[in-house]
Structures are given as C-alpha cells and as structure tokens.
Chains A and B, each alone.
Chain A
Amino acid sequence: MLANRKLILAHFWLAFAVFGVALTLGAWQMFIRSPIGTWLSNPELYYRSLTAHGTVMGYVFPTLVAMGFGYAISESALEQRLVGVRWAWAGFWLIVIGSIMAVVPIAMGRASVLYTFYPPLIGNVFYYLGVVLVVVGSWIWVALMSINLRVWRKAHPGAPVPLAMFANVAGSYLWAWTAVGAALELLLQIIPVAAGLKATIDAGLARVFFSWTLHAIVYFWLMPTYIAYYTIVPRAIGGRVYSDSMARISFILFLVVAMPIGMHHTFADPQVGAGFKFIHSAFTALVALPTLLTVFTICASVEIAARLRGGRGMFGWIRALPWDNPMMLALAFSFVMLGFGGAGGLINMSYQLDASIHNTQWITGHFHLIFGGAIVIMYFAIAYDLWPHLTGRELIELRLIRTQLWLWFIGMIVTTFPWHWVGILGMPRRMAYFDFSDPAIAPQALSVTFSAIGGFIVLASGILFLVILARGMRAPEAAAGPYRFALAVHQPATVPVALNTHALWVALMIGLTITNYGYPILTLALTEGTSVPAVYVGAQ
C-alpha cells in the first residue's frame, strides 16, 4: 500500500475540485454565447469566466494530477518511501496559495487577460504572481522526482529504471524546461509592467516567449495519459506491454522534440520570419512520431491481452477484450479522440492549412478534443485505478463508472465536432456573443447550439465523476494490495544507458531549444523601438 496516501489524495482532490468549478464555467460559456442563451448584458463577465477556466484547466488542474500521480508512481514503481515529503507538502501549499492569489483578481475583473496573458494587455500583478507560485510549487515536484530516482539508483546500481518512473521523470523535466518560456515572459516583461516599474512592453517578443511554453505544456498534460497507456492499461486488462524499449524511445522523443516547435503558434505573427516558421513546422511533424509509435505499441499490447483471453482471427480478437472493464473503455474512447484530434493537429501544423483556421473556433475544438477528450478521460481512468489504493476501499459501482466514461466521450464528440465545423466557416475565437441574426453568421447557429448541448453532457459526466470518487471514500473497506504496473512481454534484464538515463536527452532538449529559439529571441530583444505602451485591464 502507498505510504503517502494523504499527500496524493490531497493533490487529486484539489485537482478534481478546481476541475469541477472550471468545467461549470466552461459549460456556462458554451451556453451564454450560443443561440439558446440570452445575450450577455455585460460581456466582461464572459472574459472573467474564460480567464478562470483557462487558468485552472491549463495550469492548476493538470499540474496537480501530474504531481499526485508522480508521487504515486515514485512510491509504487520504485518500491521506496517518498523522499522529501515535507517539501512535497510545501509544493502543494504553494499551489493552493498561488491559485487563490490568481483567482481573486480574476473574480474582481482585474485580470481578464485570459490564461495566455496577451500583453500589452496588463492585469493585476497578483494574478501573475499567483501563476508564478503555482509553477514554483510544481518545480518542487520536479526536483523531488529527480531526487527520488537518484536515491533509488544508488541502491540499485545499473538496474533498469521501471518504465513508469522513467516516463514520469521525463515528463517532469519537460515541464521544468517548458515552463521557463512563460516564466521569462512573466518575470522579465509582464510583472515589471504590472507592478508599475515600467510602462512599455514588447508584445511580439512576449508572444515568442509564450509559444515556448504553449506547445510543450500540452505534452506535459499528455504525459500522465501516456504513462497510463503503457504502464496501467495492459495490466488492468490482463495483457503485457508489447515493447519496453519502444515505450522508452517514445517518452524520450517527447522530451526532445516537444519543445523546439512552439512557433507554429505564431505562423500568422509579423514578428517571426518565414525561415524559423518553416523549421518549427517541420519539427512539429516530428512530434507526431512518438504518438504513431505509441498507437502501434498500445494496440499490440491490447491485442496480446485479447489473445490471452482466447481471442482469435485478424480482427476477431477485438470482441474478446474486457469491454466491461472501465480501463478498456477509457482507452478506446481516448484513442478515438486522439485519432481525430491528432488528425486536426496535423492540419494545424502546416502553415498553408493553418491559414484557413488560425484563431477560429476550429482551434478551440481541436485542443478541447485532445486535452479535454483524449487526455482527461485517462485522468479519470487513473483516478479510478488508484482510488482503492489511496482510500483502502473498493470502487464497486462499475456500471456508474462506465456511464460516466460514455457520457464524457459522447459529450466531447457532440461539443467538439460542430466546434471544428464553425471554425472552418471562419467563426473567430474568444467572443462573448455572436449576432446570429446576421445572415452571414446565422448558418453557424445550429452548430453552436449542438456544441452547447455537448457542453452540458460533459458537465453531467464531470459531476458524476466527482460523485463516484466521493462515494468511493465511504465504500466498504478492502485491502487493495500493492500498486503494480504492467510488465513487458520481454521484461528487460538490462537497458542501454541511453534508455535508462535522461541526461543526454535533457541536453538535447535544451540544445534544440537554443538553436530553434535563440536567434529569434535575441534579434527581437535587440531590435529597438518595439516596446509599446501597456494597456491596463480594469483601469479606470
């Protein structure tokens, strides 16, 4: 049984509580800007809600899930009590304080700048300081993951690091480095202006800094999901991981190539030249590689499970899978959404196709399908799988769990498919309302209505999820035994150093970031006269 159950439960409960709040705000936003809602008399309320939704869903919720899951992995995969528990609690409380510090100015309408900041718009300084505290809290987790692995290595010289921990530490390093972009933007540019020390800011440079964070953060959100694919799903459905080394290669590829590709977010920006846009576009194609490898390995691992259960034939084995097992269901839904979302991502990656949908509702639909769909549904699965080990009680309402997963899947599809469609029609993002009486906008009304209905299905599923977890705290006690991860078909006795350590890959990640970001950042920083007056939000 896990030793630090309280610590892990605290992370998960806080994560899912703020998730519930942000989900409710999201559903309200879908409703209020749809034809079934009435026009908002004060559009500013919409942007408060949008800022809170993005800040919680982007920074607080996935970070807490990754941290709680990371501590659980460290204890169970390494079979070693967590080193630095006090520091872990310090990180947790920093996130609590940071979140409150950020949310208060948002609620007061003093920081309606959205979670992507958008300077020269400048909000209340405490909003940014709150976000910084959240990130600093998570950096404590990064350090702890590294330290725990080091302690384990000393006790087990030369032994293969368990896959779950290898991936977990890779994810933590990715986060540490990708957060640096936004940290530089906040510390060097935004906070001095928000604190009144400066009155001008280079908006173009800020956008480049933010793009450094904005793409790889998605892979940080993705890490717990991929760890679950490789190390939980095969065990939960009675199979084996097809290949341990391919799994390690996939996580290494994420670590190395998730970072130097962020400028595809600035394809339409005037402050970046065409050359670097092309380089980043090509690197973005590269990041599809670990996902393609993962799809193969996981499908093969699932097939192994099916054949061990007596599945036969080219495709007949699919029927032999344990479809009543929530983990199987979650994986299938996650893969379907990953497939559609990934295809959309390949479209966004090319400058030529991106021009048609840049900053339209297509993009919002895209990342909700990938993050809200493929990634978050596996967060649910992780929580369900870990819960008995954290509470010492069994989750018995499997039917309810399956209903919750089905609702989330259906809701996400109903929400995001029409969302993509109106994006193709050219509907812009981040608008508090649309004039559906305009004949040019009227054709989008039906799609937006469907999206809003999908939003409510998703909300219902989210509430059900919280209810299931809460009831799980009061279920009959049952010893869950030690928490185990999936084994590979050919469990490695030794692993090459390159696939067992991170140093080389971290160096490559930093090196590629410098080659792909160094020159654009330096030239922008050295260009004179690009700082523009700040525009304060909520100022009278």
Chain B
Amino acid sequence: MSAEEIHPDSAEVAARIERRWATIAVIIIVGMALLAAFAGIHRATMPQPRVETTDPSRLHLSGEFVESNLGSVLEANGNVTVRAIGQQYSFTPACILVPADTPITLRATSADVVHGILIQGTNVNTMLVPGYISEQLMRFTRTGDYLMPCQEFCSFGHEGMWGKVKVIDKTEFAGRAKGGGRLSCVGQ
C-alpha cells in the first residue's frame, strides 16, 4: 500500500495507539471488578454465603417449613424472620406481613418446581429451587403494599402466581406479634 511508502513507521504508530486503547480497556475492566467487590463489601450486598438443602417432599411433615411455622416471627433480638414456600401456583403465605425499618431475614424454598420471589420496587429477588433453601436479608423503609410475582417459569399457571408484601409500622407489628405465633396478612 502506498501509505507504507509515505510513512515507513506507520505500523509502529498504529501499534502504539492500539496498545494505549488496550491499556485503557484493561483499566476499565479492572475498575469495574473492584467497584463490584467494594459495593459488595461496603454495602453488604452479597449473595447468601452458605448452601442449605431440604427435602421438598417432606416439607409439610416436619422441620422449618411446616405450615404452622410459615409467616413472620419477631425474634428476641428485634429482628424478623419470614418463612415462605412457593408451589404451583401460589406462595404460602400469599400475603407476607413485615414491619418497616427492621432487619428481616427471608427464608424460602419450593415444594415442587423452580419458582422465584421478586418484590416489586425493591431489589429483593431470589430463586426458589426445590431441594435448596434461599435466604435473603431485607429491610423496608416505606410502609405500604408491594406486589410479589413469581419471576421464574413454573408451568402453565405461572402468570397467575402473584403474592403480596404488606409493610406496616414497626410498633403496630410489635403489637400484633405479642400474641406469639406466625404473622401474615392473608385475608386482610
């Protein structure tokens, strides 16, 4: 090519520009990975650390996910634990009741196929895989009703699988929790 005759060092110039861009690209990539690591540690947004298993065919018989244990419970330290299961095509409890401004641990699993829990307007989002327990930490700052659709295809009734989350005032929740038992807002 004639360009080579005019600029004998053009190959070198081209390679230098290219190397510069490659360096910038590597810096961008490393920067993003560091940012993700920082956000995970600093804002404590990390996936659940442990893998826990459970037998979906025995959920209703004994253990953590028997029907009488599903719903919200106020723990001694003031935190709240919510236990729920997904099955074709509903959540139990279908309406989850939680207090605002409280650390909440959601523990959930599936009784049959793969489902997912997504609370709209928040970043609460987890899969429910039969055989495994999903755990997610959450905290609501705003009271009100949130929609909670199943976000994973779970067969023909998937489009009808919508639950609800009702966030109420902290003191009101404490009042309701006095009687003991497991709280939910089903039928309210």
Query: Which one of A65-73, A113-121, A371-379 is at the interface?
Result: A113-121
Task: Tally the A-B contacts, defined by beta carbons under 8 Å.
Answer: 211
Other-chain residue from B113, B132, B156 in contact with A47 (beta carbon distance below 8 A): B156
Contact with B along A262-277 (1 / 0, CB 8 A): 0000111111111001
Selected from B1, B18, B109, the residue in CB contact (under 8 A) with A246 is B18
Inter-subunit contact A432/B29 (CB<8 Å): no
Of A43, A202, A292, A351, which one neighbours B159 at CB under 8 angstroms? A43
User: Chain B: how many interface residues by the 8 Å CB criterion?
Assistant: 71
Interface residues of B in 108-155 (CB under 8 A from A): 109, 112-114, 116, 118-121, 123-135, 145, 147, 149-155
A311 within 8 A of B: no
Q: Which of B14, B50, B125, B130 is A356 in contact with, Cβ under 8 Å?
A: B125
Given contacts A285-B32, A292-B28, contact A274 B159 (CB under 8 A): no
Q: Check B127 against A269 for contact (C-beta < 8 Å).
A: yes
**Contact A351:B156 (CB < 8 A) given known A121-B113, A296-B21:** no
Among A112, A246, A426, the one with the most B-chain Cβ atoms within 10 Å of its Cβ is: A426
In the complex, which residue of chain A has the Cβ closest to the Cβ of B150? A428
Question: Contacts of A430 on B, CB cut-off 8 Å?
Answer: 152-153, 158
Q: Which listed residue (B15, B129, B153, B158) contacts A271, Cβ 8 A? A: B129
* Cβ contact within 8 Å between B51 and A273: yes
Q: Is A288 an interface residue (CB 8 A)?
A: yes
Which of B35-43, B75-83, B95-103, B169-177 forms contacts with chain A?
B35-43
Judge if A529 is at the interface, Cβ distance under 8 Å.
yes
| A residues in contact with B127, CB < 8 Å | 266, 268-270, 359
Cβ A282 vs Cβ B48 within 8 A: no
Whether B49 pairs with A282 at a CB distance below 8 angstroms is no
Chain B residues with CB under 8 Å of A346's CB are 32
Closest residue of chain B to A33 (Cβ to Cβ) is B159
User: Quick check: is B186 within 8 A (CB to CB) of the other chain?
Assistant: no
Within 8 Å CB of A240, what residues of B?
1
- Residue on A nearest B30 in the bound complex, by CB: A285
> How many residues on chain A are close to B (CB under 8 Å)?
72
| Contact of A351 (CB < 8 Å), options: B3, B46, B121 | B46
A368 within 8 A of B: no
Shortest CB–CB separation between residue A355 and chain B, in angstroms?
A: 4
Contacts of B157 in A (CB 8 A): 43
**Complexed CA–CA distance, A281 and B35 (Å):** 12
A114 contact set on B, CB distance < 8 A: 153
Contact of A270 among B43, B51, B153 (CB under 8 A): B51
On whether the beta carbons of B120 and A270 are closer than 8 Å, the reply is no
- Output the nearest chain A residue to B37 by Cβ-Cβ distance: A278
Measured CA separation A195–B41 after assembly (Å): 46
Among A19-27, A179-187, A433-441, the stretch that binds chain B is A433-441
B132 touches A352 (CB 8 A): no
Tell me if A286 counts as interface (CB < 8 A to partner B). Answer: yes
CB within 8 Å of B: which A392-447 residues = 425-426, 428-434, 438, 440-441
Within the complex, the shortest CB–CB distance from B107 to chain A, in Å, comes to: 10
How far does the alpha carbon of A490 sit from the alpha carbon of B3 in the complex, in Å?
10
Please, how many angstroms separate the alpha-carbon atoms of A274 and B45 in the complex? 11
Closest to A533 in B: B57
CB-CB under 8 A for A272 and B156, given A118-B113, A120-B130, A203-B130: no
Which B residues form the contact surface with A (CB < 8 A)?
1, 3-4, 10-11, 14-15, 17-18, 21-22, 25-26, 28-29, 32-33, 35-37, 39-40, 43, 45-53, 55-57, 88, 109, 112-114, 116, 118-121, 123-135, 145, 147, 149-159
